[in-house]
Amino acid sequence: MTAVAPAAPRTPIRRVLANAGQLLSGRAVNAVVGLAYIALTARSLGKETMGVLVIINAFAQFLGDVAHFESWQTVIAYGTKPLADKDLPRFQQVLRLSLLLDLISSVVGVALGVLGAWLFWEALRWPPGMSGYGALYALSIGVMTPATGVGLLRLFDRFRYLAAEQAVSSFVRMIGCAICALAHAPIQYFLLAWAAGAFASFFYIAAVAVRDLRARGLLTGFRPWGPTSRGLPGVWRFALSTNFSGTLEVGFTHVLTMAVGAILGPVQAAYWRIGKQVADGMAKPARLMVPALYPELAKLRAAGGQRAMTRLAIQIALIGGAAAGVLLMVSLLAGRWILETVMGQAFGAAAGVMNWQVAAAAIGVMTLPLEPMLVSMRAAGAALIVRLVVVIAYFAALFPLIRTFGLAGAGAALVASALALGLGMYFMARLRLARLAADEGLAAAD
């Protein structure tokens, strides 16, 4: 018999693309289903009430992001080596720390959400009587991001299960919104349907992660109490830096929605949110390379492959650049038609601001490997500095621009901030790589 040669191991770029492809299969379904529940909500509630729901959701998600630790990054950055070395006590220590971070996030986020709904409903331009419903919706903050579970599944290369995460949430929301639409239900029932999606996604990820941990024997002897950060140098600084950076990145979106609603009213907030939904949906296929990129960079970093990390980042940037050009062209040529077809004629007016949002998303896609590079090199603080400077400058200009130019002003500022962020990350990554190369040269000389 002729021996069959073993298959050649896949290169990092092949693994990134393969894992991103698995995520894409689920996110493609999610993009359609997500637009479906947004459309059901918009057509049932109308522009004004839809805007109120959008602002309440943005408020809850913003506070969730403020309190939320990016503990999945801690799992990958500090759990990759113990997993490879089969160091069970150290791996369980990383897991224990990540779960602690998630617990702190949930408690603080829910407390801020409930209290904020009662205190600031008028400033957020919620109608009278909505503060109680907003406070109830804030309970979903505790389950909005199953960060530890997500980190574990990324570390285990279980991307096919991650692919279904958002689809599960969107399917539950779509079914709930469909029932609400058929029953001509008021806004509070639509809020219940949206919150149910967050709970469904959380329990799905938690169940899959626990099953994988048990199958690998990683829960043997695990206790929820015990050492957390001991022997993990810089872990709290890393966790705080990635948390703050993630808060600025994701919370930035929800603050914008609330700012537009507070200055221009719920209708304009609805336009902004719907345009952002479509823009993010168009950019999603390329952005799916980012969660697949983090584990590969962490593995290359652990093996000391600085040049391989750079090569992988350049390959991803080239692919992202091609994707960015395509999605911007689609928005410019067919954006209004997409909005009117999916959301209804009344929402075609969001096309102008959506083009700005798509342009900003395109810049983000072109520069998407830069921040993962910095985080993988344990330079999360450098990424945080860049993001913080850009966010401060953006908000300093945002309110005058909105008052002067309306939604177009907010959109133009969004493009400028995406460009500044990309340039800042690029120069920080170059500096960090030069420093690592110098350190390697000194080590070789010794």
- Assess whether 178 and 291 both reside in one domain: no
- Assess whether 209 and 65 both reside in one domain: yes
Q: Count the domains in the chain.
A: 2
Domain assignment of residue 246, yes or no:
no
Q: Considering the chain, what percentage of its residues have pLDDT values greater than 70?
A: 82
Domain assignment of residue 204, yes or no:
yes
Q: Residue 441: pLDDT band by 50, 70, 90 thresholds?
A: low
- Assess whether 289 and 366 both reside in one domain: yes
Its domain, for residue 56, covers: 27-232
Domain assignment of residue 41, yes or no:
yes
How far apart are alpha carbons 350 and 336 in whole angstroms? 8
pLDDT in tens, 163-208: 777 778 888 999 999 999 999 898 889 999 999 998 998 999 999 9
- Assess whether 98 and 185 both reside in one domain: yes
Q: What is the mean pLDDT of the chain?
A: 79
Domain assignment of residue 335, yes or no:
yes
Q: Which of 214, 232, 250 is the last residue of a domain?
A: 232
- Assess whether 225 and 287 both reside in one domain: no
- Assess whether 427 and 293 both reside in one domain: yes
- Assess whether 96 and 225 both reside in one domain: yes
Domain assignment of residue 349, yes or no:
yes
Instruction: Please indicate, yes or no, whether the overall pTM of this predicted structure exceeds 0.75.
Output: no
Domain assignment of residue 196, yes or no:
yes
- Assess whether 178 and 98 both reside in one domain: yes
**In degrees rounded to 5, what are phi and psi of residue 87?**
-90, 85
- Assess whether 217 and 312 both reside in one domain: no
- Assess whether 329 and 228 both reside in one domain: no
Q: Residue 6: pLDDT band by 50, 70, 90 thresholds?
A: very low
pLDDT at 232 over 90: no
